[in-house]
């Protein structure tokens, strides 16, 4: 649905088809006041998803507010690619870690795709983890939530995953203030990633192999023009079978790699 349809179906408490079939619907005073309030907030730049308190991701409904980033269509490509790859590998009960889970959209969608999965989700923000937990309940999936800065939590010790997946912060300090005003309603903690926007990729890639099973997958969403640099980091750390996936705007948006086998004298940490 477009933005106008989202707002009107919310205000009128109807589906999209009813919106067009029932053209004689009148707004009473309360609904008019609600619509006016929504429009005022929207004019100030607040994202419509925050105003309505919900959004759709992978065909699922998610609660959203300023505790975490709003799920975006590009991230659906990341989840679709991950699910497809795991199934092609014959892994029907994957153990998956979503690093920097935010709203929980990635973790929840993966858990929905595999009925017998062991999905973990971490974030440094307690507020984000609370929201993610609410979304797990909303979508009736079981996920292990951990507060952690990347892999620092003790819960990760002695655990290895079939897939580590992440849509980390990737906005550089130089480009941050040139972004659309809507972005400034979202938590900066989930956006900023240092001078070149690559800080979190460096931190994750430097340690990820230690937490991956043999032939385990590492998958990222990346920002504009970042795919080459992330791919180079992965190659230097011995990751193999690297591939890039483009988004709807033909931008290299997803980077996928497989943990390589250790060579003599090499460690994974």
Bridge partners, residue 170, by sequence: none
8 vs 31: CA distance, rounded Å: 10
Residue with tokens 């679709």: 80
CA 100-104-109 angle, 5° bins: 120
Contact, 110 vs 165, CB < 8 A?
Answer: yes
What architecture does CATH give domain 67-258? 3-Layer(aba) Sandwich (3.40)
Closest to 123 in 3D by CA, of 61, 180, 172, 187: 187
**Rounded alpha-carbon distances, angstroms, from residue 245 to 208, 219, 264:** 21, 11, 32
Q: Where in the chain is the domain with CATH 3.40.50.150?
A: 67-258
Residues with Cβ within 8 Å of 213's Cβ and at least 6 positions away in sequence, in order, are 95, 160, 161, 162, 259
What is the per-residue pLDDT for 206?
96
CA distance 51 to 173: 27
| pLDDT at residue 98, rounded to an integer | 98
List strand residue ranges (DSSP E) for 80-184, in order.
Answer: 95-99, 118-123, 144-147, 161-166
- Tens-place pLDDT, residues 200-259: 999 999 999 999 999 999 999 999 999 999 999 999 999 999 999 999 999 999 999 999
Instruction: Going from the first residue of the chain to its last (269 residues), give the mean pLDDT of each consecutive group of 10, the final group possibly shorter.
Output: 84 82 79 90 93 95 96 96 96 96 98 94 97 98 97 95 96 80 84 89 96 97 94 96 95 95 52
Q: Is the pTM of this model over 0.85?
A: yes
Contact between residue 188 and residue 204 where contact means Cβ atoms under 8 Å apart: no
* CA atoms of 237 and 233, how far apart (whole Å): 6
pLDDT score of 26: 76
pLDDT at residue 269 in the model:
47
Grouping H, G, I as helix, E, B as strand and the rest as coil, residue 265 is coil
The two most distant CA atoms of the chain are separated, in Å, by 75
Looking at the DSSP bridge assignments, the partners of residue 215 are none
């Amino acid at each position: 649905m477009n933005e106008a349809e989202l707002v009107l179906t919310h205000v009128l408490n109807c589906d999209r088809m009813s919106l067009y079939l029932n053209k004689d619907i009148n707004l009473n005073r309360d609904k008019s006041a609600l619509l006016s309030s929504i429009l005022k907030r929207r004019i100030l730049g607040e994202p419509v998803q925050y105003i309505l308190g919900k959004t759709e991701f992978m065909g699922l409904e998610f609660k959203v507010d300023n505790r975490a980033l709003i799920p975006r269509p590009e991230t659906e490509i990341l989840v679709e690619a991950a699910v497809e790859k795991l199934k092609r590998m014959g892994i029907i009960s994957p153990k998956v870690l979503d690093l920097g889970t935010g709203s929980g959209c990635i973790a929840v969608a993966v858990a929905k795709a595999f009925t017998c999965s062991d999905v973990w989700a971490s974030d440094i923000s307690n507020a984000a983890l609370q929201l993610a937990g609410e979304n797990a309940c909303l979508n009736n999936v079981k996920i292990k939530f951990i507060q952690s800065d990347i892999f620092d939590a003790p819960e990760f010790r002695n655990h290895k995953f079939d897939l580590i997946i992440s849509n980390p912060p990737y906005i550089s300090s130089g480009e941050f203030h040139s972004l659309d005003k809507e972005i400034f309603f979202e938590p900066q903690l989930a956006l900023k990633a240092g001078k070149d926007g690559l800080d979190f990729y460096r931190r994750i890639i430097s340690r990820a192999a230690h937490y991956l099973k043999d032939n385990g997958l590492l998958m990222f969403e990346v920002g504009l023009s970042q795919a080459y640099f992330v791919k180079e980091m992965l190659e230097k750390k011995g990751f193999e079978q690297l591939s890039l996936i483009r988004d709807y705007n033909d931008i290299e948006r997803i980077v996928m790699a497989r943990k390589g086998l250790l060579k003599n004298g090499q460690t994974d940490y």
